Each structure stands twice: as structure tokens, then as C-alpha cells.
């Protein structure tokens, strides 16, 4: 059974634009829940399983996939899409939701939230806007959706006391934010983070700088920022998209679209909150891909990682705490494209994820993976095990969009890897233990720092990245 386009908050239009989500109003009679709702306005068209949807500011809806509305209290997973807080849609979870609930007797929920200018740029930090704009509208949307699920999911056969949050890329960053906010304390049992960038979320100062950068693309001074309230969605979207690739020229490894520290919903950077105990006890499955960096340092103007010697050396100069010689010694081709990609992978994705695992493994069950399998076509063009190919396989062989296209070239080996990921992830959602999917056994991370390498043949290694950890330490791009 599926219930699509279910509202969890009022449409954020008119006076509610740039404000926290408000509870949805009750309706009389039967509401049509057979079609996906529109996704948040964004550059271009969202990667979605549904062709008839379009971008709209009226986007605060979720979808529920369930084996039955029978009060059975099944495990619940809430899926949060990625897309750099700039793009994405809840409907892209269609095949995952349908298959996961059928095969593992769970309830799957996919949510949407405001993106870009509408929910993920901190305009509230600008002078004179704090009484008209709220901080972190997109994250407040996510909190509202999770609360809606906890309050109502028993009517769909789900257990509100057995909720897993699952996300990829910015969705994984969202999971990190949600398990550390005081507003959801004690409500989440498990979390899955695929390819997270744990240091992506912005300090208050970096959030303000990002908002000012967007303002510049709109041709506005700070004292003119009030004009944002009546500006067209198309103009706002273009400005944020343009800013995305300018901001990183001055602040590589950061984005202008990201949650910010606001002293309330996000009292401190989620990475720090987790290290200070905010998520202790939560069971975690987390991992990154071998080639996370290839997508973001391709040698063009849309890169978000430094892609040439000048940019990389500027980053080192801006971060004197970085041991430049130890880091570059890891890469014989430095300065070269592959070295820039690897440095970006470690700084942005991989090493901060290990820091998270080192903390949470002290208080709960944690499973870490490193995804090494590359679809043949991606291997052929030099992309390798690219960003988020792990999460793309969650539905097993039932792929869609670009993942489906690439899956056509993967043959029996790729299908077997997809099935393995599908069963590992689903088993974890149901029981907190990914095992039950056959060999190899995936041990907890624990004191031995066990890491599962997922490839055509999987294997487990103990503390496999000690050399990288020692060389890098913990570098926080521009204090994030």
C-alpha cells in the first residue's frame, strides 16, 4: 500500500514564505493520496521517478509505503533525499520504498523539505530580516515531518518507537543534524548515513557570508534585502545556483546552502554536538565511497573542491593547522587531478565520518563500510566508485534514473553487489544488525575499528585508514 503526497505542514506560501513550517489543517472526508506532490523549486527538473511532478514552493509533503494499515507496529525508516540542499525530490524513493516494505515488512516514509533560497540559505542573519525570516526553514521542515511520522505512523502499521533516519549526501548531513538537535532528542533509534559531509553545516558567520553572496547575485545591498520576500521563485533559484559555484572559490569544501548554527534548533555545529554526546546511544550504519571526490574536482568551474595547484595551496595557506607535507606525501602525483580528488574526499567526506564512528561506537552499535565497487561504465570514464553509488543500490537490482542506466552495464557482479547492499541496509533498519544477508559477516566497528569493504568480493579490515588519519588530523574548512 502507498499513500502519496500527504501534507505534513501548511503550504509555505504568502506570509509563511521563509518562516518555520506550521501544522497542517485537518480536512473533511477522504483525501486523494494516489499521486506524488510537487517537489521544491530548484534549478532544472529533479531526478525523480515521477514525470508529472514539477517544482513548486508548495512542497511540504511526504509519502508512506506500508505492507498494511493494521496496527502491527513495524519498523519505520524515514528517507531524506540529497542534492546539496539545492535539489532533489521525495518521489525519487519510489522503487526503494515499495520493495523495502514488501520484502522486509517495514514502513518506508520519504519526505520533502524546502531547498535553496526557500529553506537552506540563512537570510534571517541579514540586518533587518530577523522578524520576517526564520533560520533553518528546511531543517525545521524535516523536524516537522519526523514529528508527523511519530505521531501518525501507527495508523499506517508502523512503530513510532522504532524509527530509523536514512539519507544520502545532503540527506545524510540532514540525518546528522536531526539526531543531534534537542527537538528530536530520544525519538530516533537508528540512523543510516550514506556519503555524508559531516563538516558541511555552517557556523553562524559562514551562513551570513553565504547569504550575502546570494544577495550579491540578486544585485541587492544588505539594506535592500527585504525585497527577497516578494521576489520570484525563478530569480531566487537562479541566484542561489550561481552562488553555489562562486562561494566555493572563496570557501572551498563549504556550500552556501546548508543548515547554520542558530542557538536553538542547532545550538552548535551538529558534528560538535555529536562529539559532545547529543547522539549517544543511537545505532548507526555509515560509509563513504572509494571515489567520493571525482564528481567534485573534475577541472571545471562547477567544482566545489580545489582542482588546481593555486586553489589547493591557497587552502593550505588559509589552514596553517594542516600538515601540508604529510598530506601531499600520501599522493605521489601531487599536484595532480587525482590528488586533488583524494584530498577533497578525505577532508569533506571520509575522515570526518570516521570521527563520528569513533564517537558513537563508544555508546552504541555502529557499522562502517567503504564502498569500492565501480560500475564498469564509471570505471571506464575515470569516475570509479563515485559519490552516492552506495545509496543508489539500496533498492537492489530495481534501479532507476541514472543508476538504472549504469546498472545495465554492471552484469551479474553489479547486481550481486546491489542485492547485498539492499539486504544489509534493510536488515539494519529492522533489527539494528545488518547481518543476515550471508557472507561476509559485518562486525561492529568497535575498538578494533572494523570496516567492511564492499566490492565484487567483500572483506573486513581493522583500522584501515590509520595512515590517513595521522597525516590529516582533523581539518575544519573555514572553522566549520
195 is catalytic: no
Nearest by Cα to 93 from 119, 111, 113, 116: 111
DSSP structure class, residue 123: G
Burial class (CB in 10 A: 0-12, 13-18, 19+), 233: middle
Of the residues 169, 361, 410, 427, only one is catalytic, namely: 169
Single out the catalytic residue among 292, 370, 422, 427. Answer: 292
Kindly tell me the burial class for residue 33, based on how many C-beta atoms sit within 10 Å of its own C-beta (0-12, 13-18, 19 or more).
Answer: middle
Angle between helices 94-104 and 411-431 (to 10 degrees): 60
Go through the chain and tell me how many residues it has: 480
Q: What's the CA gap between 475 and 464, in Å, rounded?
A: 20
Tell me if residue 355 is catalytic. Answer: no
From 401, 121, 362, 386, select the one nearest 243 (Cα to Cα).
121
Strands (E), 220-362: 283-289
Q: Please name which of 184, 145, 176, 168 lies closest in space to residue 63, comparing C-alpha atoms.
A: 145
d(CA 134, CA 18): 6
> Could you confirm whether 169 is annotated as catalytic?
yes
The residue from 251, 369, 387, 423 that is catalytic is 387
Choose among 91, 27, 98, 30: nearest CA to 56.
91
Active site residues: 169, 292, 387
Amino acid at each position: 500500500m502507498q499513500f502519496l503526497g500527504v501534507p505534513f505542514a501548511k503550504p509555505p506560501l504568502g506570509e509563511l514564505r521563509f518562516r518555520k513550517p506550521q501544522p497542517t489543517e485537518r480536512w473533511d472526508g477522504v483525501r486523494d493520496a494516489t499521486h506524488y506532490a510537487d517537489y521544491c523549486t530548484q534549478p532544472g527538473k529533479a531526478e525523480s521517478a515521477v514525470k508529472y511532478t514539477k517544482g513548486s514552493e508548495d512542497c511540504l509533503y511526504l509519502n508512506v509505503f506500508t505492507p498494511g494499515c493494521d496496527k502491527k507496529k513495524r519498523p519505520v525508516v524515514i528517507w531524506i533525499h540529497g542534492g546539496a540542499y539545492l535539489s532533489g525530490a521525495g518521489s525519487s524513493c519510489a522503487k526503494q520504498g515499495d520493495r523495502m516494505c514488501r520484502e522486509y515488512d517495514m514502513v518506508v516514509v520519504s519526505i520533502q523539505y524546502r531547498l535553496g533560497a526557500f529553506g537552506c540559505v540563512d537570510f534571517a542573519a541579514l540586518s533587518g530580516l530577523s522578524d520576517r525570516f526564520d533560520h533553518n526553514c528546511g531543517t525545521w521542515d524535516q523536524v516537522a515531518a519526523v514529528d508527523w511520522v511519530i505521531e501518525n505512523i501507527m495508523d499506517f502499521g508502523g512503530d513510532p518507537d522504532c524509527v530509523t533516519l536514512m539519507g544520502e549526501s545532503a540527506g545524510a548531513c540532514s540525518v546528522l543534524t536531526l539526531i543531534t538537535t534537542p527537538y528530536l532528542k530520544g525519538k530516533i533509534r537508528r540512523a543510516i548515513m550514506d556519503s555524508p559531509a559531516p563538516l558541511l553545516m555552517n557556523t553562524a558567520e559562514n551562513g551570513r557570508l553565504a547569504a550575502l553572496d546570494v544577495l550579491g547575485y540578486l544585485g541587492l545591498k544588505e539594506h535592500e534585502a527585504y525585497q527577497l520576500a516578494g521576489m520570484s521563485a525563478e530569480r531566487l533559484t537562479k541566484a542561489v545556483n550561481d552562488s553555489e559555484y562562486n562561494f566555493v572559490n572563496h570557501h572551498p569544501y563549504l556550500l552556501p546552502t546548508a543548515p547554520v548554527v542558530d542557538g536553538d534548533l542547532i545550538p552548535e555545529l551538529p558534528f560538535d554536538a555529536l562529539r559532545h554526546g547529543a547522539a549517544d546511544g543511537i545505532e548507526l550504519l555509515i560509509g563513504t565511497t572509494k571515489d567520493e571526490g571525482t564528481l567534485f574536482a573534475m577541472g571545471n568551474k562547477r567544482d566545489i573542491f580545489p582542482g588546481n595547484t593555486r586553489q589547493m595551496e591557497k587552502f593550505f595557506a588559509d589552514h596553517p593547522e594542516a600538515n601540508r607535507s604529510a598530506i601531499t606525501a600520501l599522493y605521489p602525483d601531487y599536484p595532480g587531478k587525482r590528488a586533488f580528488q583524494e584530498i577533497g574526499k578525505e577532508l569533506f567526506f571520509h575522515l570526518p565520518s570516521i570521527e563520528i564512528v569513533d564517537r558513537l561506537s563508544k555508546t552504541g552499535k555502529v557499522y562502517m563500510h567503504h564502498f569500492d565497487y565501480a560500475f564498469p561504465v564509471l570505471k571506464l570514464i575515470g569516475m570509479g566508485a563515485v559519490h552516492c553509488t552506495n545509496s543508489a543500490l539500496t533498492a537492489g537490482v530495481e534501479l532507476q534514473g541514472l543508476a538504472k542506466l549504469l546498472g545495465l552495464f554492471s552484469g551479474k557482479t553489479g547486481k550481486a553487489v546491489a542485492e547485498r547492499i539492499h539486504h544489509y541496509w534493510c536488515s539494519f533498519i529492522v533489527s539494528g544488525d545488518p547481518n543476515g544477508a550471508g557472507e561476509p559477516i559485518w562486525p561492529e566497528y568497535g575498538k578494533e575499528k572494523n570496516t567492511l569493504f564492499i566490492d565484487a568480493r567483500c572483506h573486513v579490515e581493522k583500522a584501515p585508514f590509520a595512515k590517513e588519519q595521522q597525516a590529516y588530523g582533523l581539518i575544519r574548512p573555514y572553522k566549520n
